[in-house]
Amino acid sequence: MVIKFFKWSTKQSSPLDKSRMIQATLYCVQITLAYFLMLIAMTYNIWLTAAVVLGAGFGHWLFSSSYSNSNAETMEAATSDSCH
């Protein structure tokens, strides 16, 4: 068992920091797309639902291959469900 201790930064970043605003915007886009995909699946149309599932599988295959040489923590984050 590996115990990791995190060093907390004493530097406070501003709520209006550019990187935080970009991350918040990208998170909103991700959540919006996730809800749209959920609504597509909730139509109970087998072809649309299959397209969502196959697209998610293809995206996972395509983008998780770039993390093959990373450490275990990054690999776990890259291969998990990215809805939330």
The C-alpha angle with vertex 29 and arms to 82 and 20, in degrees rounded to 5, equals 90
The verdict on residue 34 lying in a domain is yes
Domain count across the chain: 1
The verdict on residue 77 lying in a domain is no
33-83 pLDDT, tens digit per residue, is 999 999 999 999 999 999 999 999 998 888 887 666 556 555 555 555 555
Domain limits at 24?
Answer: 17-42
- Here the contacts of 24-27 (C-beta below 8 Å, separation 24 or greater) are none
- Give the model's pLDDT for residue 10: 58
- Range of lowest pLDDT (3-12, 23-32, 38-47): 3-12
Percent helix, strand and coil across the chain, each to the nearest 5: 65, 0, 35
The verdict on residue 54 lying in a domain is no
The verdict on residue 29 lying in a domain is yes
Contact in structure between 37 and 52 (CB atoms under 8 Å): yes
The verdict on residue 70 lying in a domain is no
15-27 pLDDT, tens digit per residue, is 788 899 999 999 9
Q: What is the pTM of this model?
A: 0.57
The verdict on residue 78 lying in a domain is no
The verdict on residue 58 lying in a domain is no
Contact in structure between 67 and 78 (CB atoms under 8 Å): yes
